[in-house]
Structure formats: structure tokens, C-alpha cells
């Protein structure tokens, strides 16, 4: 792919990120727009995403206040660039139809390879060995010998810090890239601060109340915590795992005839017990609460209309039954 050529002959590129764009997507988009303006100062890039996360807005306010990412439909472009995104599905329903012409579509992404990407785009930089799209962007700036100014360096370092979970997922290349960005003027402390965000007051109160009401169940060596709260069930589950639970199951009845249950488990728990919260717990609970349940191994939920207390009791039964059946002898000895 000759990125310089594609950008120099396009006057109205559309730079797209995935739905609910996270800081990696947003920072890669902002950096890409800056790269484009250096290659083609005459052109006007448009940045588009279906909703930004709260944290992404905070990052924009920190480093590029006044610059914006649009959510408007119907904007025409002569080149489409997908960042941190490898399928139209990830763009969200509003913008799924934008990529139409593979010869005018570029994909820059670090997720697992998706067969759809090849159909979607003739110009791809897909590197699933990299832990963020922003890291790939640094390589592109280098490859095309485009200078990185301090603001771009801050944006790219922030995206890297976010997607690597502050360098939890990082290798020597990631760390070298981070150093390079600091040498170009990125302020590490500012980047870290741009990514710090306390949850809203109401969410913090929900977490604290649910923790206060929590019931602790010890099954084998595992700690399962159940609780009830009318809102922020998923956030409460994450908080309970942070506090030390192996599994958190939190139900709420935000109004009459509405029952919601959310659950989370640690990787350690799902690996050792093979319990898939979606299939093994939330699917059966869906029946009890007169609705449906499902999800993934470590994060699942159910929605229904009744029977919250019964469902929570049942969830513990379901988990104990599997743990005791698979691992009973180990605990008895």
C-alpha cells in the first residue's frame, strides 16, 4: 500500500472508528487526521464514529480541545479509513454502509484477522501482534517519514497506554515505541491522567451499596459474591471482582416486572472450573425469571420479569453442582 499516494490524491477522506470509540480508536483517528493534513494540506478530513466513550471525550478535552468527531450521517468522502476496526459491523448500524469501494478503503487495525477485512478493503495494515492501533500508527509515521509533533505524540501514547492496560500487554517493541513518543514530546504523566476517570457519583454509590449487601458463598476454594442493586449491575460485578470475588452475580429489579442479572468471573475461575457463566448459569436463569439469559464465559447476563431471589439462589446451586461434580474429590481429600 502506498499510503502517501492514496492520501495525496484524496481531498475528502472519511476517518472512521468503531462504535462507542475507545481512546485507542479516537487517538488513532486524531493522529491519522494529522498525518493526512501533513501529506495533503489542501484536503479536509472528516472524523466519524457512532458515539464516543466518556473516557475518549476526556482524552480529546485534554489534548485536542475543540477538535471533534462527528456522529452525523450522510457525509460524502472520496476515501474511507477504518481505524481500530476490521468489519462494518463494528462501525455500528449508522455507519455500516460507508465503506463501499474496496479500492478506496483502508483498514488499520490490530484485532484478530477477520476474513471480512479482505473483502472490505484493498489497503490493509493489520497487525494482530500489536497491542494497539496507535502503536501501528507510530510505525506508519516513521515509514512515511512524517514528523510526530508533541500533541500527536501525546495522543498516540495515550492510545497505547489505554489498550495495553498501562503496559500490562506490552513487548519490547511497544516499550520502544512509547519511549520514542516521549522523545517526541509526549508527557507520560499527562497521558496517564487523561485516562483516569472516577465513575459517576450514582455509580459509586451503587457499587458501595451492593458491596454492603453482598453475600459471600465459599464453594470449594472459590469465593462467589451475590448482591442486589437496581442499577449499574455490570459495574458492581467488576467492583466485586476487584475486591476479591472469583465470581460476582448481581441482580436488580429497577422497576416492577423488570428483572436483570449480571455476572462476571475471573479467568482463573473459568479456566479451572470450565464454568461458562453464559451457558451454564445465565441461560438456565433466564427461564426462572421469565426471560432470556446468555453471554460469554467470564461475563454474562439475563433479563426477565420475575423471580429474582429464586434465580440468585439457583445461580449458587448451579455453580456448586458443577464445581463439586468436577472437583469434589479434590476438595474432600
- Minimum CB separation of residue 160 from Mn ion in Å reads 10
Stretch that binds Mn ion, among 93-101, 126-134, 204-212, 231-239 (CB under 5 A): 126-134
| Residues in 133-162 that interact with Mn ion by CB under 5 A | 133
Q: Is 62 exposed, middle or buried (0-12, 13-18, 19+ CB in 10 A)?
A: middle
| Residues in 6-25 that interact with Mn ion by CB under 5 A | 24
CA 8 to chain centre: 32
- Minimum CB separation of residue 305 from Mn ion in Å reads 37
Running DSSP on this structure, what letter comes out for residue 220?
Answer: T
Contact between 280 and Mn ion per CB under 5 A: no
76: closest CA among 103, 52, 33, 44?
A: 44
The DSSP element (H or E) to which 100 belongs, if any, is none
Ramachandran quadrant class, 73 (left: phi over 0; alpha: psi -120 to 50; beta: rest): beta
Looking at beta carbons only, is 24 or 50 nearer to Mn ion?
24
Looking at beta carbons only, is 47 or 237 nearer to Mn ion?
47
CB-based contact 105:80 (threshold 8 Å): yes
- For Mn ion, which residue has the nearest CB? 24
CB-based contact 316:277 (threshold 8 Å): no
Looking at beta carbons only, is 169 or 331 nearer to Mn ion?
169
The DSSP element (H or E) to which 133 belongs, if any, is helix 133-143
Site string for Mn ion, 294-323 (x = CB under 5 A): ------------------------------
Looking at beta carbons only, is 160 or 281 nearer to Mn ion?
160
Contact between 163 and Mn ion per CB under 5 A: yes
Contact between 84 and Mn ion per CB under 5 A: yes
User: CB atoms < 10 A from the CB of 192, how many?
Assistant: 13
Looking at beta carbons only, is 163 or 280 nearer to Mn ion?
163
- Minimum CB separation of residue 18 from Mn ion in Å reads 8
Residues within the interface to Mn ion (CB under 5 A): 24, 84, 133, 163
Amino acid at each position: 500500500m502506498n499510503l502517501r499516494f492514496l492520501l495525496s490524491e484524496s481531498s475528502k477522506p472519511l476517518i472512521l472508528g468503531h462504535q462507542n470509540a475507545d481512546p485507542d480508536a479516537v487517538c488513532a483517528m486524531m493522529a491519522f487526521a494529522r498525518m493526512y493534513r501533513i501529506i495533503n494540506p489542501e484536503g479536509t478530513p472528516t472524523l466519524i464514529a457512532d458515539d464516543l466513550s466518556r473516557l475518549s471525550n476526556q482524552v480529546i478535552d485534554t489534548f485536542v480541545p475543540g477538535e471533534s468527531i462527528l456522529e452525523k450521517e450522510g457525509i460524502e468522502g472520496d476515501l474511507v479509513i477504518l481505524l481500530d476496526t476490521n468489519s462494518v459491523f463494528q462501525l455500528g448500524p449508522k455507519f455500516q454502509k460507508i465503506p463501499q469501494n474496496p479500492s478506496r478503503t483502508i483498514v488499520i487495525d490490530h484485532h484478530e484477522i477477520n476474513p471480512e477485512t479482505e473483502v472490505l478493503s484493498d489497503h490493509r495494515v493489520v497487525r494482530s501482534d500489536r497491542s494497539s492501533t496507535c502503536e501501528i500508527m507510530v510505525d506508519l509515521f516513521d515509514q512515511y517519514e512524517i514528523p510526530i509533533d508533541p500533541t500527536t505524540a501525546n495522543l498516540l501514547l495515550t492510545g497505547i497506554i489505554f489498550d495495553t492496560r498501562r503496559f500490562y500487554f506490552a513487548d519490547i517493541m511497544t516499550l520502544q515505541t512509547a519511549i520514542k513518543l516521549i522523545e517526541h514530546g509526549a508527557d507520560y504523566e499527562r497521558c496517564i491522567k487523561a485516562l483516569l476517570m472516577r465513575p459517576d457519583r450514582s455509580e459509586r454509590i451503587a457499587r458501595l451499596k451492593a458491596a454492603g449487601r453482598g453475600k459471600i458463598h465459599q464453594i470449594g476454594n472459590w469465593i462467589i459474591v451475590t448482591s442486589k442493586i437496581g442499577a449499574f449491575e455490570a459495574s458492581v460485578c467488576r467492583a466485586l471482582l476487584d475486591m476479591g470475588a472469583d465470581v460476582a452475580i448481581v441482580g436488580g429489579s429497577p422497576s416492577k416486572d423488570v428483572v436483570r442479572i449480571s455476572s462476571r468471573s475471573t479467568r482463573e475461575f473459568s479456566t479451572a472450573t470450565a464454568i461458562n457463566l453464559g451457558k451454564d448459569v445465565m441461560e438456565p436463569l433466564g427461564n426462572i425469571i421469565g426471560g432470556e439469559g446468555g453471554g460469554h464465559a467470564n461475563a454474562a447476563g439475563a433479563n426477565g420479569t420475575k423471580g429474582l431471589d429464586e434465580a440468585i439462589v439457583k445461580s449458587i446451586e448451579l455453580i456448586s453442582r458443577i464445581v463439586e461434580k468436577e472437583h469434589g474429590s479434590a476438595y474432600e481429600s
